A and B are shown apart, each in its own frame.
Chain A
Amino acid sequence: MAVAFDEMNGPGSDVRPAYQELSRWLAETPPDALEYRRQEAELLFRRIGITFAVYGDAEAQERLIPFDVIPRIISAKEWAILEKGLKQRVRALNMFLRDIYHGRDVLRANIIPDDLIFQNPVFRPEMNGQDVPHDVYVHIAGIDIVRVDPENFYVLEDNARTPSGVSYMLENREIMMRLFPDLFARHRVAPVEKYPDELLSALRSVAPLSAAAEPTVALMTPGVYNSAYYEHSFLADKLGIELVEGRDLIVKNDEVFMRTTEGLKRVDVIYRRVDDDYLDPLTFRPDSALGVPGLMSAYAAGNVTLANAVGTGIADDKAVYSYMPDIVKFYLGEEPILKNVPTWRCREPKDLAYVLDNLGELVVKEVHGSGGYGMLIGPAATKATIEAFRDKLKREPEGFIAQPTLALSTCPTCVESGLAPRHVDLRPFVLTGSNHVTIVPGGLTRVALKEGSLVVNSSQGGGTKDTWILDE
């Protein structure tokens, strides 16, 4: 694997311009001062209760995501490209979803094979012909971006269902501003604090026609045992909306109400952080206690807006991902600004043959997987793991895609031995309302804390960093 591009030190011998001030500051600051601040940050996180749960780990029901105090810096010029590319991509995702559940031009034009949609478990036939307000399906998108050189940004993954992590973008910034006021004074960092307002206005803009002039928005959570519960309560608080669970909601005459101390109150927009499968036991999983019986029928009647819409999984499916450049061109008639990572679709025999021959160099992912589970990183895997994976792959090739092992860019990070480069990715959050797409300048930077590791997922030992977009 090639030597990774370091975002501070660059490919040459000079510190890259965006990092010059930080680099000077790092040189002035003694390492134990950094360590002290790191501990302080950890204490703050614990006090505030910013924790997440790891499923199947009874010992550590609530864990902190390790926070690295060295910020990751992106220049205004780089951000401008990213912003443009992200907006373009999300626009295409929404048009694609509208098309898939209506006319299906994209299938008739043979851009994507039919069975990839119709045989796909995340395709929701319930959504066929169903209109959603302003044709917005993905109100909140988290697009995972990686880079391997100074010039290019690659989309690693589109998250169009219930992307999480935005609370870290906001809380990391709060904590950094508390711990390092001097460092902020030496930079011009674009603020991220407008995100809750932007989110609320996007959600209100897509209220159904039958809603009152002041629509009621609520955030629906699976409950306090969900791994992202902190984020749900944090966002509800920042938005000033009720945090509801399925049992707080009831459907009557195809309208959704929440049970309050003053009786039933109608809900117009639900920012739901519950997966499709668990929304309504009458439509989806009958064994689920998290959902609201009749919710889908209120949705079909157009009396409630769900954000994100039902059935968006078909747009962030990893097999569909590989067609994204064509999808962007098809709907917008533009060249995609953000690149796709080259992807072999194991469902295609030619690609499968190549993948099987090169398992040792590739990353193989489950089409429907997330959270970094169930994937093979060829260069880091043992022979036995690779062989076991080969069998799985042969049995069910359509369940997998493969990509080259990217040398993800690195950023300076506090580790035990001091400062060291560690691999990072970036998840900006793209909001789509009735007539606009917005992105606050920032995102969640995830960092793989283990030396050489490329897995940044928090469930697999990844940490986070504050992400600074410089405002020049």
Chain B
Amino acid sequence: MLSRTAENLYWLARYVERAEYLARTIEATLRVTALPNTYVGKTNEWDSALLTAGVSASFYQIHEEANERNVVDYLSFAPENPSSIRNCIENARLNSRSVRTALTSEMWDTINSAWIDLQEVWGKGTKSREELTKFLRFVQETSLRFDGSAYRTMLRNDAYWFSRLGLHLERADNTARILDVKYHVLLPEEEHVGGPLDYYQWTSILRSVSALTAYHWVYRETLKPWLIADLLILNDSLPRSLASCYGNLVRNLDQIGVAYGRQGPSQRHARGVRNRLEHSHMDDIFQHGVHEFIQEFISDNARLGEIITKQYLV
């Protein structure tokens, strides 16, 4: 297939996944900020929402302080924020138009109808929390529909695999970013300084990766920060964990390698990251520092993106 087509499919999946993740982040933040201060402390959750979205620096270039109104607007609608939900959807639509021929009609219909419906929201914005929640739900449902139509209707060939690569790479990045911002509330008990206030931080983290129920099924325990870290980093039964994302990245890259009869640097790099995750234990990670571990992962993951681009997409 054309390199540009593969590139468009890859970015299309990334943008849709990112839009969903932003919607989840905003939703979880709205929830935690609705609690009285005595439950969550005085941290500025809107500030950490910006950090997990990776747009903190650009935000503070135009705003003095982070509050619900300006952060929701910046993450959802701001045309000047290149990764606002709005721009993600616009870019996803633009990428879809460029690769119409590689999409199934179900996938095109999902993106195009969502884009049509959202034009009104871009024009008028959301007037109330209720409207905002409806909008955030809609974005998540669009991503689900898109993902579902890809899964159910696409031929299993390179087009499908490149779109999956985008999805898993973006997803790994998103989960890692939450961990990066919130790692301090996930430290083991003895190093832990937060106290009971953190309980709501933990649920908020799990909500933003839709893993709150999963946690209880996996561990059959009350929330323990180190188990949350274990779930998000190492547990490959959780679709948004780093381990699961890398399991999928390795598989999809292998499928491409087999189809093209050639392995390359991206296959090797992905396998390296996957092996490290497979052979890690939470104890060791804590010992060497969660923060360092996550930082390294984020840069490895970004590196994989670059290698894939160089090997296939240009």
Listed in ascending order, the chain A residues whose CB lies under 8 Å from chain B are: 46-47, 49, 223-224, 229, 233-234, 236-237, 242-245, 247-248, 258-262
Contacts and interface: CB of A to CB of B under 8 A. Distances in A.
A242 B108 CA distance: 18
B101 interface: yes
B100 A233 contact: yes
B111 to A, nearest CB: 10
Nearest to B256: A261
B2 A49 contact: no
B158 interface: yes
18 contacts: A46-B116, A49-B112, A224-B97, A233-B101, A237-B100, A242-B101, A248-B2, A248-B3, A259-B2, A259-B4, A259-B314, A260-B1, A260-B2, A260-B3, A261-B1, A261-B6, A261-B312, A262-B260
Interface of B: 1-6, 94, 97-98, 100-101, 108-109, 112-113, 116, 158, 162, 256, 260, 312-314
Nearest to A46: B116
A261 B158 contact: yes
A237 B100 CA distance: 8
A47 B109 contact: yes
B97 A233 contact: yes
A236 B113 CA distance: 22
A248 B260 CA distance: 19
Nearest to B113: A47
A247 B5 CA distance: 12
Contacts of B3: 248, 259-261
B260 A244 contact: no
A224 B113 contact: no
Given A49-B108, A261-B1, 18 more contacts: A47-B113, A49-B100, A49-B112, A224-B94, A224-B97, A229-B97, A233-B100, A237-B101, A243-B100, A245-B4, A247-B4, A248-B4, A259-B314, A260-B2, A261-B3, A261-B256, A261-B260, A262-B260
Nearest to B260: A262
A236 B260 CA distance: 24
Q: Please give me the 6 A-B residue pairs with the lowest Cβ-Cβ distance, nearest first.
A: A233-B100, A237-B101, A261-B312, A259-B3, A261-B6, A262-B260
A302 B313 CA distance: 30
Nearest to B101: A237
A262 B116 CA distance: 35
Nearest to B312: A261
Q: Which of A47, A245, A260, A261 has the largest count of B CB atoms less than 10 A from its CB? A: A261
Nearest to B96: A49
B149 to A, nearest CB: 14
Contacts of A233: 97, 100-101
Contacts of B5: 242
Contacts of A224: 94, 97-98
Q: Which of A229, A243, A248 has the largest count of B CB atoms less than 10 A from its CB? A: A243
Contacts of A248: 2-4
Contacts of B97: 49, 224, 229, 233
Nearest to B94: A224
Contacts of B112: 47, 49
Q: Which of A223, A229, A233 has the largest count of B CB atoms less than 10 A from its CB? A: A233
A224 to B, nearest CB: 5
Nearest to B313: A261
Contacts of B1: 242, 260-261
Nearest to B261: A262
Contacts of B313: 261
A247 B101 CA distance: 18
Nearest to B158: A261
Nearest to B105: A48
Contacts of A242: 1-2, 5, 101
Contacts of A262: 260
Contact of A258 (B2, B6, B260, B314): B2
A252 to B, nearest CB: 16
A4 to B, nearest CB: 38
Contact of A244 (B2, B100, B113, B162): B2
Contacts of A47: 109, 112-113, 116
B20 to A, nearest CB: 22
Contacts of A237: 100-101
A428 B313 CA distance: 40
Nearest to A241: B101
Contacts of A49: 97, 100, 108, 112
Q: Which of B1, B158, B314 has the largest count of A CB atoms less than 10 A from its CB? A: B1
A245 B2 CA distance: 10
A86 B226 CA distance: 78
Nearest to B8: A224
A244 B101 CA distance: 11
Contacts of B158: 261
A247 B7 CA distance: 13
A273 to B, nearest CB: 14
Nearest to A262: B260
B97 to A, nearest CB: 5
B9 to A, nearest CB: 10
A47 B4 CA distance: 25
A237 B312 CA distance: 22
